[in-house]
Structures are given as C-alpha cells and as structure tokens.
Structure 1
Amino acid sequence: MFNLLMFNADWSSGRVTVPSGRVFEYTDGQIAAQFRDSDNNLLLDRLASLPCLFCEEGTEDETAYVGQINRARASGGDLLLEISLDAEVPPLQNKILYENRAELDMPHDFEFSRNHWALKDVDLYRFLLRHIRPRRQRPTVFQIPEHERIEPTLASVMMPFDAEFTGVYDSIRQAAEGAGLRCRRADDIWENAAIIQDVVSLIDRSRIVICDCTGRNPNVFYEAGIAHTLGRDVILITQNKHDIPFDLRHLRYVPYLNNAEGRASLAQALQSRMQTLLGH
C-alpha cells in the first residue's frame, strides 16, 4: 500500500501544504476506514508509515518522486507535511505512471488532472522494480553531475588546438553570437587538474556542441562521442567529407573551405543551423 499525492507542489522543498478535504479521493472506502479513528480523524502517523509517490498533475513529462512523510500535522483545513525524497530512486515521469495506471490502481484519466491524496493497495516498490531501470554505471575516467546543468546560451567547440584553426574558430564564434549564444573552447578554461574533465564539463553544460572533424583528430572524435552520449545537439563540420567517421556519415554535416570566403559561408550556415536547433 502507498500514498499517492497528486498536487502541483514543490516537492523538493521538503515542506508542502495540502488541503485535508482532498484526502482519500479515489480511494476504496474500506481502505480509507483503516486510517481514521472512531471520531473520523485522520491517523496521520499511520499514513506516514507508508511509502509515497509525490506527483504533479499531467500525463507527459511531469516529474514524480518516491519518498516518505516524516511529519504531518493538521492546521485548520490543511495538512502541513514535512517530506523527504528517496535518493535511491530516480525521479519518474508521469507518462510512465500513466502508461501503467491500471497496475497503480489509477484507472480514471481524470485522476491525473485533479489535486488529491489517495491510498492505493499496491506494492509501490514492486511496481518500480518492474518498470524503472536501475541507475547506470557512472564513468570513472571523468565525472558528470547527477543532474544536468545545461546553460541555455552556451555553445562549445571541439577542434584541434592548432593555429591554422584560429580563423575557423573565429567564424564559429561569430555564428554563435549571431544566434544569441556565447562560444567557448576547452582551452578557454582551466578549472580542473585533468584536461579531460574540463572538456567533459564544458560539453555537459553546453546547449550546442560543434565538432570539427577535419584531419580525423582522435580527440575530437572522442569528444563528439561524449556529446552524443550526453544527448547534446551536435553539429559536425569538416574541410573534407572523408574525415567524417563512417558511423556518423548518416548525420548532416557542414562542409567548408578554410579561406576567407569559405569561413564566411561556414559562419552563415552554422548560424542558420543553430537558430533551427534553438527554435528561433
């Protein structure tokens, strides 16, 4: 059995106020009766002993959390709750709950569109074991934070650290600025003892990553793989189409010539592509 709390609340704050009049909606009467005393008062301590699914309304990408109620008390017509989230269970999306609503004893669609507190005679953790993938193994060569911290105006460039690419980088930076982004390269920063950590941190924070495959530089290929794995929007550019790895040739790339006219065309093409990715 578990508590289902469907309220548009800031669950991560740890303190939530909910109306007591919404308790036991969409709850079987015999189950609800087990959590009231002879005077019809809520047995808050007994409710708090059950695991909780903390949700906000919706059936798509809304976030839901598993956790528990640490303390509950009545105040007028409200219930003041102190809660904690289970750090061992990753946040869920409501669409997973909606797709499996019958298993959660949530057969009515409108249960996802009304603030309420229900009791469900379902083993919540057994449900999670069936439908939630375990956390993946974390990298050991470099570190990535538990939660993404994407900077929406940051574009990063992965390219050889070579003087002949200076003009190319200037053109990329011009394109980024035209699209409303600021552009950075790994050699612009020095935050960690290991250069790979600087590179990965930059990629992880970036909204868009531009990778210059010219010369088949192994570092750039490695960085492009990291960017793809992290789910970033990646734009491939190259002076030679044969430098695009075979596994990536099905993706769109921007060819260019490393002369004044070619770099100007590159800047124009990149700005257009960035604006498209940004939805401008």
Structure 2
Amino acid sequence: MFNLLMFNVDWHSGRVTVPVGRMFEYTDDHITEQFREGGNPLLDRLAALPCLFCEEGTTDEAAYVGQINRARIVGRDVSLEVNFDGEVPPLQNSMIHANRAELHMPHDFEFSRNHWAVKDVDLYRFLLRNVRPRRQRPAVFQIPEHENIEPALASVMMPFDAGFNDVYAAIQLGAGNAGLRCRRADDIWENPAIIQDVVSLIDRSRVVVCDCTGRNPNVFYEAGIAHTLGREVILITQSEHDIPFDLRHLRHVRYLNNVEGRGALTATLQGRMQTILGH
C-alpha cells in the first residue's frame, strides 16, 4: 500500500499542512477501516507507508516518492514533516495519469482535487516497471544517478578566449530575454577538475549553446557530451566550415562578430530558445 497525497503545497519545504477532512477520499472502505479508529486517522500506521507526493494536474507537474517522518493533528489540519527518496527521480503527473489504472486511480477527479488517499498498490514495484532505469556511469567524469535539469538554466560552450566575451554577452542577453539564466564553465569553480564543472553544468542545463568557431576541440567534445545526455543543443558559428562534417545535417546559427551581427545573434537565439521552452 501507499499514501497518495495530492495537494498544491510546497512539498520541497519538507513541512506542509493538509486538511483532515480530505483524508481517505478515493480510498476503498475496507482500506480506510485499517487506518482509522474511533473516527480518527491512525497517523503512525499511515506514516509507515511509502508516499507519492503530487500536485494537481495531468501534464508536467512534478511528483515525488518519499515518506512521512512526522504527522500530528492540529485543529482541523494534519501537520506533516516529509522527505523524498533520493533513489527515485522526480516523476511527472503525465506518467502517473497514463498509468492511473495500475495505481488504482480510475477517476480523473483524483488529479483535480486536493485529497489524501491510500491505495492498495505496491508503489516500488510499480516504479520498477515504469521508471527509466539508472543510467550507466562514465569513468572519466561523474554524473548523478538521476537527472536533475534546472528548467531555467542555459549553458554556453565556447573557447576560453577574451575575443568571445562580447559573443557570450550577446548569448546571455538572448537567453535572458527568453527567460533563461545563462552560465559557462568559467563562471563556476566547484570541482578540482574543470571537466567535472563543465559536465555538471551541461547535465543541469535545459539548453546548451555550442560555439564551433575556430574548430575548438574542447567545444566539440562538450557538444558530444550534451548530445549524449539528450540536451537541447544550439550550434552557432562565425563560419559554416567550422561545423564538423558529422554535425552539418543539424541546423546551426551563423553570426558575424560585430555589433550588428551580435545583435542578430541575440534575437535569433531568443527565438530559438523560446521555441524550445514552448513559449
């Protein structure tokens, strides 16, 4: 069995309050009887079950697997302290909705009403069947076992050369206009090896811009990492001849490194990023 908590609260805060009156909605009567005594919920027994913490919706809303560390009734509410299972990546309500019958959630109403249900389903067995497996880990650098993409992060891969500073500023402006925060590896210093900083930045990014100008081998390597990790990659260059043969079938943005050309680059990248983000 597991607790299904569908509430529009800040689950990440770890401390939430939900109404007692919404407990055991969409729960079979024979299950409710196991977790209630004298009309009161048996919170300790409920806290022993794994939990699926959700917000209302059936699309890209995030849901988390975890547990209740502490529960107590305060007036007409239940005060909860919760935490997430670090071994399970965040889920999306679209996946849960697609498999709702398997989770004993036959009614769409369950995705549009705040409630606490108890389902007679082995949650972890369900996850083993439906959540993508852990990815193979590389040996040259480290990546987390599960993805943790920052939806508003764009990263830029380009030569570490002062001649590209104005280009980077143009990219930053385009990303900012599209609602993205833009960084490149020399903005951060988190690990002893710079390759680890670069890979971590790519892995967290929603969009990766790679400047192929000058055929810099580091940029080509980083573009390959970004493609392998499944990131949205935008190739830019001052010369189309600098795009590697294996990548010429992909769309790229050619720009001139002058005031007018950088302005055009900003506008083009803003439009491309807005398209990627679905704006």
Name the TM tier (shorter chain). Answer: 0.7 to 0.9
Q: Percent identity?
A: 70
Aligned letter for 2:89? P
Closer/same/farther in 2, CA of residues 203 and 114 from structure 1, 3 Å limit? same
Of 79-88 and 120-129, more deviation after overlay is shown by 79-88
The residue that corresponds to 2:8 in the other structure is 8
Larger Rg belongs to = 1
Aligned-pair RMSD on alpha carbons?
3.0
Aligned partner (choices 257, 265, 276) of residue 271 of structure 2: 276
Superposition deviation, residue 174 in structure 1: 5.3
Aligned letter for 2:15? R
Measure, in 2, the Cα distance between the counterparts of 1:184 and 1:225.
18
Structure 1 runs not aligned, ≥5 long: none
Closer/same/farther in 2, CA of residues 82 and 114 from structure 1, 3 Å limit? same
Counterpart of 1:220 in 2: which secondary structure?
Answer: helix
Closer/same/farther in 2, CA of residues 95 and 141 from structure 1, 3 Å limit? same
Superposition deviation, residue 60 in structure 1: 0.9
Counterpart of 1:179 in 2: which secondary structure?
Answer: helix
The two structures have a TM-score, normalised by structure 2, of: 0.81
Measure, in 1, the Cα distance between the counterparts of 2:182 and 2:95.
37
Superposition deviation, residue 22 in structure 1: 0.6
The residue that corresponds to 1:179 in the other structure is 174
Aligned letter for 2:212? C
Aligned letter for 1:20? V
Count of equivalent residues: 269
Closer/same/farther in 2, CA of residues 157 and 95 from structure 1, 3 Å limit? same
Measure, in 2, the Cα distance between the counterparts of 1:97 and 1:82.
24
Superposition deviation, residue 178 in structure 1: 5.0
The two structures have a TM-score, normalised by structure 1, of: 0.81
Measure, in 2, the Cα distance between the counterparts of 1:5 and 1:149.
25
Aligned letter for 1:91? P
The residue that corresponds to 1:128 in the other structure is 127
Closer/same/farther in 2, CA of residues 12 and 130 from structure 1, 3 Å limit? same
Superposition deviation, residue 239 in structure 1: 4.5
What does the per-residue CA deviation read over 1:167-225, in whole Å, with 9 as the maximum and x for residues that have no partner?
5x255145336537597765676664433234335545666544332443322210112
The answer to whether the 8 A contact 2:175-2:269 is kept is no
Structure 2 runs not aligned, ≥5 long: none
Measure, in 1, the Cα distance between the counterparts of 2:68 and 2:173.
50
The residue that corresponds to 1:225 in the other structure is 224
What does the per-residue CA deviation read over 1:225-250, in whole Å, with 9 as the maximum and x for residues that have no partner?
22334555533233543432233222
Aligned letter for 2:261? L
Aligned letter for 1:176? I
